[in-house]
Chain A
Amino acid sequence: MISNRFTRRRLLGALGAAGALAVLPRCKSQTGGSAGGGGRVKIGLVVPQAGVYAPLGTDMKRAWDLWLELHGGKLGKLDVTTVVADEGESPQSGVPAVQKLLQNDQVDVLVGLVNSAVALGAKDMVKEAKKLLIVTNAGAGAITGAARNPYIWRTSFTNAQISSVMGTHMAKLGSASPAYILAPDYAAGSEVLAGFKKTFVDGGGQIAGEVKTPFGKTQDYQPFIAGIKSSGAKAAFCFFSGAEAVAFVKQYAQFGLAAEIPLYASGFLTEGSVLTAQADAALGIQTTLHYSTELDNPANKSFIEAYRGKYSATPTVFSVQTWDAASVLHRALATATALDGDSLSKALEGVGTIDDSPRGPWSFDGQSPKQRIYLRKVEKHGTDYVNTVVTDLGVFAQVS
């Protein structure tokens, strides 16, 4: 009995001590004021470090670090301190991460965000704090559309922007109609399909069928592949990213459809590490995206060389989007008078064309990129799978 009590008391004491230790450092009074006075700027990089989007977060952080390394650790003329926070997989982790950067670390500028839900969930917080947020991936149209505020800018894309271009292209082909379309059942998937349908149908295309797969829960796509087969479609258009892209593409080939019904998609289906995992199953898939590693311009060549040299890995569109965020901030900080959201937002308005981007020249239009969209095809060069650029489909502004 006595030994039991000692064990209990000790455990209780240990728990109490741990709790106190966790709380003590927090007992300081709030220090107001900006953190970036006199030659320094504090950037909060919020990217996924755990969960299904972790590989994207790695690409983004790498590009960020690389840019700073190649420019002496400065943006504009200011020395940069980067604080990284884990966006996680969902707004449940992402929004508190943004909150922590704003309230706890008192950053001057926020950069990052893969998940649109996090961006939308945090927008009010960013507005109330009057700090600049540069979104380097999240593609929901509302972020710079219906739900926009002057403090949120984007260097990536909108979901509908990418898919609507494919819609026009497939309608023009003639041989890709009727088309079966599918995407996961969440906001991004819905936006992609809506953007595609509009231009495809307007261009004379016919939809053979449409399905939204349970998001994040589907590992077995056979039921949906069966649906495509029985619909009489001549082509399929889809949007999947990450693990879902790997599973879908592999199963599409396994169940024999890759040979019969050509697959088209938004570029994320075959971007980055997923392409390596898909291997032969991805050959011949055509996608639209605002970037490819095969783009033939000097900025892209030197970017890829530097990235490969430092990380022994090939960059992806997520790296480019973050690289451009650094580039854009550098230009803004060179002319801005202060670090608060209003001044930086004003500076961004005057930034003009970004002509040294790996994706080709682009500019802001309504706080989101107006850029070239390329048609790409998966091919094998030696032992590598790449998205070769078939053609340049034109310059497009954001589409909501």
Chain B
Amino acid sequence: MKLLWLLVPLLVVAGAAPFVVDTYTTTTLTRILVFALLAKSLDLLVGTTGLPSLGHGAYFGAGAYAAGWLSIHVTASAPAALGVAVATGAIVAAVAGSVAVRARGVFFLMLTLAIGEVVQQLAESWGDVTGGSNGLYGIPALQLGEPLISVRSLYLLVLAVAAAGIAAASVVAASPFGDTLRGIRDNEPRMRALGYRVYPYKLAAFVFAGALAGLAGGLIAAQQRLVTPADLGYGTSVPALLAVIIGGEATLLGPCAGAAVVVLIRDALGPSLGGHGGLVLGLVFVSVVFILPGGLARAGRRRP
């Protein structure tokens, strides 16, 4: 409950930010918000259901490509583009998930990694639709009534959508459905013994997480105005997983905090380190795994 008291001022500060800081910082904040949504969606799998995915970027990228393609060829209306992004993320996740959730633990990890690579390969080969390795460029600005060209207005849209997505994920995690998922995470055989059909629950979680990832993808397409195969693969999936673990899996805002850390280290700190943000990120990650198990969000708590 006391976290809710924190949320209101947080949202106010976030909403006021673009009026206070410069354009470049606003752009960085926009990317943080998108990544936070992606991380939160991944947490539904990793933290709540105990399914560690190393290929979540595939659904993010699929949503991005769908939104981008629609914006270029049909309409750049924001609800349409984002709607298509959600739907595409969900569909690709449904297809991949039907296969992936049959595995568990580290095998699930490997399988999602392989699936992510296949989807990235698909994006590179299917040049007619995705633009191949050049990517989908020339994506017009999203329209909400009028085109959102200014960095500030795009930020506000992203803030609203990301906040809604994160809220949805939190609500689902806190619901009885979420309780079932946690039960599966903690003791799958017992859940089966209790009569739960585990496969549909895991698949549902996978699809929902994929849908939210797709939504985040739609937002990144609007922000970057460009989608490339790199948005689908290892280079997106690994930082997403890092964000969840660093911030704290299965916590309310941990994944979002982790996302901020990852984006800041990579984009803000990285260039001044000669492009070696990855080194710092890796070190932070290893430190968290050893010294702060449970991530930043649980750092202040006592051990039970």
Contacts and interface: CB of A to CB of B under 8 A. Distances in A.
A and B touch in the complex (CB under 8 A): yes
Interface stretch (B79-87, B165-173, B193-201, B264-272): B264-272
B292 interface: yes
A29 B22 contact: yes
Given A50-B275, A86-B271, A121-B226, A26 B25 contact: yes
A90 B261 CA distance: 23
Contacts of B284: 15
B287 interface: yes
Interface stretch (B6-14, B105-113, B132-140, B206-214): B132-140
A308 interface: no
A8 B27 contact: no
A26 B296 CA distance: 24
Contacts of B125: 185
Interface stretch (A98-106, A165-173, A313-321, A361-369): A98-106
Nearest to B31: A96
A18 to B, nearest CB: 8
A133 B106 CA distance: 48
Contact of A215 (B24, B133, B261, B303): B133
Main secondary structure of the interface of B (DSSP, over half): helix
Main secondary structure of the interface of A (DSSP, over half): helix
- Pick from A7, A22, A88, A121 the residue with the most CB of B within 10 Å: A121
Contacts, number: 119
A18 B261 CA distance: 10
Nearest to B19: A29
Contacts of A22: 264, 268-269
Interface stretch (A123-131, A233-241, A251-259, A276-284): A123-131
A90 B228 contact: yes
* Chain A interface category by residue count: 35 or more
A222 to B, nearest CB: 21
B27 A99 contact: yes
Contacts of A70: none
A362 B135 CA distance: 32
B23 A103 contact: yes
Given A99-B27, A117-B134, A121-B225, A12 B21 contact: no
B235 interface: yes
Contact of B267 (A12, A30, A96, A140): A96
Contacts of A88: 275
B4 interface: no
A311 interface: no
B158 to A, nearest CB: 16
B74 interface: no
Contact of A19 (B22, B151, B226, B261): B261
A187 B127 CA distance: 9
Contacts of A121: 135, 137, 224-226, 228
B275 A12 contact: no
A128 B132 contact: no
Contacts of A100: 24
Interface in A167-201: 185-187, 190
A89 B228 CA distance: 12
Nearest to B28: A26
A164 interface: no
Contacts of A5: 302
Interface of B: 20-25, 27-28, 124-125, 127, 131-135, 137-138, 140, 149, 151, 224-226, 228, 230-231, 235, 260-261, 264, 267-269, 271, 275, 284, 287, 291-292, 296, 299-300, 302-303
19 contacts: A5-B302, A7-B291, A9-B300, A12-B292, A12-B300, A19-B264, A26-B25, A92-B228, A100-B24, A103-B24, A103-B27, A103-B151, A104-B22, A117-B134, A117-B135, A121-B228, A185-B132, A187-B132, A215-B124
Interface of A: 1, 4-5, 7-9, 11-12, 15, 18-19, 22-23, 26-30, 49-50, 86, 88, 90-92, 95-96, 99-100, 103-104, 116-117, 120-121, 123-125, 128, 140, 147, 185-187, 190, 215-216
